[in-house]
Every structure is written in C-alpha cells, then in structure tokens.
Amino acid sequence: MSKIATDYYGTHMKFDEYPSFGVLSGVNVLTTGVNIAGPYAGSIMSEMGAKVLQVEHPKIPCNQRGCYGYSQDHRNGFSMALDTHSERGMEVLKKLLIWADIWIESGRPGTYDRLGLSDEYVWDNLNPKLAIVHVSGYGQYGPDKDKAAYDVSGQAMSGYMYLNGASPTSPPLKVNPYLSDYATAMNACICGLALLVHARETGEGDSVDISQYETMFRLLSSYPIEWFNVGYPADGEPVPWRTGNASNQAAGFSFYDCKDGTIFIGCVGAGNVKRGYPLFGLPLPGTTDPEIYENFSSCMVTLPLGQRIEKAISDFCADKTVSEVERLLNERGIPNQRAYGPGDILKDAHYRAREDIVTWTDSVLGEVTGIGVMNKFKRNPARIVSSAPTFGEHNIEVLKALGIPEETIDIMYEVGEFDGMDAKETAIRWRMKEWGFFWREDQWKTFGL
C-alpha cells in the first residue's frame, strides 16, 4: 500500500473523524480550485462546523501554500491532490459530488462543462440537491469570461480602484490585502448557504454564477447612481472622489490630525451632532445659527458650511493627543477610532475579550498566532479543530471513505493520478527557510533543514 503524507509535525485531522460542532455540522463542502476567492469560502464554513475538502491538481498546488495565509485560511480543512482529468480521477470526483451538499468551483468558465460535468448533468445523474457555486474573475458568460484574473482584476474592473486615491489628481489605488478575493469568497459563502437552504426546502439543486468584478461593483454604494445619472469626469480630468482618508461627501466624517497621530471622527447624524458640535465650538443645532437648524445631521463637505465644520473639528484635534480626543468623544458617545497597527491590536482589551487573536499548531510552521474565529455563535460556537492540511494530506483517507479498492489506490498513485507532500516536503518545495518564512530556528531544525 502506497504511503504518502502521513508523518505530521502538526495536528492531523482524520477525514472520518471530523468532530461534530457548529451551526453547519453535518454539511459537506467540496471546493475545486486554488487561490483565495473560491477556497476561502469553504474555510469560512469549516470554522462553523462544515466538513470541507479541497481538491487540487497533483501538479498544480495552490500558490497560497508555503506562505502564512494558507495556514490561517485553510484551518479545519481536508486536502486531496487528484487528477480529475483522468478516467479514475473523474470517477472519484463524481463520488465526491454525490457526497457533497455544496460544490464551490473556481476553474476557468466552462471547465467542468467540457469535462462532462455540467450543472444539469450533475443534478440529473449524481446529486439532484447539490448547491453549485461557480466563482470566476468575470463570470461564466460575456465577452471577458475567458480572461485570466487575480484579486486586483476585480478591484480594477469594478470601479473600486477608480474611487480610491490620495487626491483627485492621483492615480487609482488598490486596497490591500486581496479585498476582491476575500469579498468574493464571503459572497460565495452566502450564496452557497442560500442554495443549500433552497435545496432542503424544495429538494432541487441550483447554481450561482459569482464574479469578482461584480462582487466589488455591488460594494460601490451610491456612487454608480451618481455617475450614471448626474455625471462623472472625462478621461484625464481630476476625480473628485479620490480624497484619501478624508470624506468626499459628508462634513465631520474624516480622519483628523492630532498632536501625536490621526483619528477618525464620525460626527454625523442628529444625535451625534447635538452631542458633538458644542464640543467643537460649533452652535447647538436649532439655537443661534439658522444654517445649523434643529435636528441638523450634516451637510456636504464641499459647501461653505461643510468647510466651516471641518475647520472646527480640525482645530479641536490639532492641540490634543489622540488619547485625549478619544476620551472626550467616547464620553459623549460620538463615533471615533484611531487607526490600529499590530502593536495596538495585540494589547487591545477588546480584541482579547473576544478572543480575536489565538494560537494553534500548524503542520509546517508549528505554533503560530493569528486571527481567531470571526463570528461568535451563542449555542453552537465556531471552532478551530485542526491545522491547514498539507498538499494531498487526505488522499488515501478520502479514497478509502469513498470505497475505492486499495489496489486501485496504489495504481492511481503509481501513475501520478494523485500525489502529496508531508510537512517537511512542503517546507522544501516552497523554500520556506531560504525565503524567510520561518521566524524561529526550531522551525527548520524540526525538519533537519
């Protein structure tokens, strides 16, 4: 019997021993694809208790492997490195589609149709209730559907970058890290679970076509209405919405400079204005200034009154420290927040109280500290139960669970229809010592590097 990927430095979770926990306990999720936009949707579900298996091609591992993000974004998951283009590999994939409740695929549009696994074929022949989520850069149809895409593709095409920049004459600005990828993954998670609810209510599966650019386009709030009805700059003209950390719309809703740093203040809305304007040296609404009338909530920052409000708040902050401004605003219940850096996050009592920073054991990195579980469920809490899997870590366990005979498993391995790497092979393959991904000597010494 071929033996691969069975010697682990971290925590190995057996495929047939996944614990029961969380609001998604009993839900099986199959992801076929790499990078972030598709697979991370499964990762979100796995921390809620779903059993999530990612299938990658044995010769094309996810390029997130070997970096810090993989260890955090794939906790609780299972991994197969399977050639689904081979006859035996295709039969395994079909068995997995029967096993799954949700299938999230992020291949090039039409990939699975060409392999004979159209939505209709899957529902008619394999799993009539399967929830199918197609994730791509540009969607499953349209003239750009075959274009290759990464995170910035979605930010760029959607208009999201167009909005952002340091000044109206600066170039468009992307947002770090991988906003389009992570937003698309959360959209895929939402849609996948919506399809699951529909299937359980009706007995019929359905599919959804999710694109990165449309996900980002939908996040543009009121700006498209303004562009397409009021107008927008011609090519080469200044873009008024690119105002960096300052609001381009509301007065009293920006970052303001203090003696020792900068702080966001959101003094808009009738209640905040009533509590905050006297603090900033502005009249109480409805008293001495007809422009600042009763129940005044804010005005456009471009108007003379808006500039007056901005100056008052700027002057208020200029001779105070960030901490002093925080205290005064918090006493009055006015929204504010200084921009946290890593040191602020680590020592913050609120982060600590909500267990937003946790330590777990990763198969490759060893003990690692990072982001905890995102959503706090009262009765069925989300959990971290295992390390991110190494490449193909669960090949044999999954194949056995699907009833594949051992002699067939051996043949598949010998001809390269599946493959895998243990933790040491992972460290060597991605040159983790040479490229500086290990930060302690014991990490590489564990592997004899």
CA dihedral 424→399→135→370, nearest 10 degrees, is: -40
Helix (H) or strand (E) run with residue 410 in it: helix 406-414
Catalytic residues: 181
Mind giving me the DSSP string for 207-240?
Answer: EEEEEHHHHHHTT-TTHHHHHHHT--PPTTS--T
Query: Are 116 and 191 spatial neighbours (Cβ–Cβ below 8 Å)?
Result: no
Rounded to whole angstroms, the Cα distance separating 1 from 46 reads 30
For 323-353, letters b (16+ CB in 10 Å) and e give eebbebbeeeebebebeeeeeeeeeeeeeee
Residues 6+ apart with CB under 8 A from 412: 86, 88, 89, 399, 418
Instruction: List, edge to edge, every strand of the sheet that includes 206-211.
Output: 78-81, 51-56, 28-32, 102-105, 131-136, 206-211
How many CB atoms lie under 10 A from the CB of residue 376? Answer: 11
Helix (H) or strand (E) run with residue 326 in it: helix 322-331
For residue 434 the two structure tokens come to: 């040479």
**Selection from 188, 64, 78 nearest residue 133 by Cα:** 188
From the centroid of its chain, how far is CA 123?
Answer: 29
Query: Are 211 and 219 spatial neighbours (Cβ–Cβ below 8 Å)?
Result: no
The packing angle between helices 87-99 and 406-414, to 10°, is 130
Q: Bridge partners of 105?
A: 32, 134
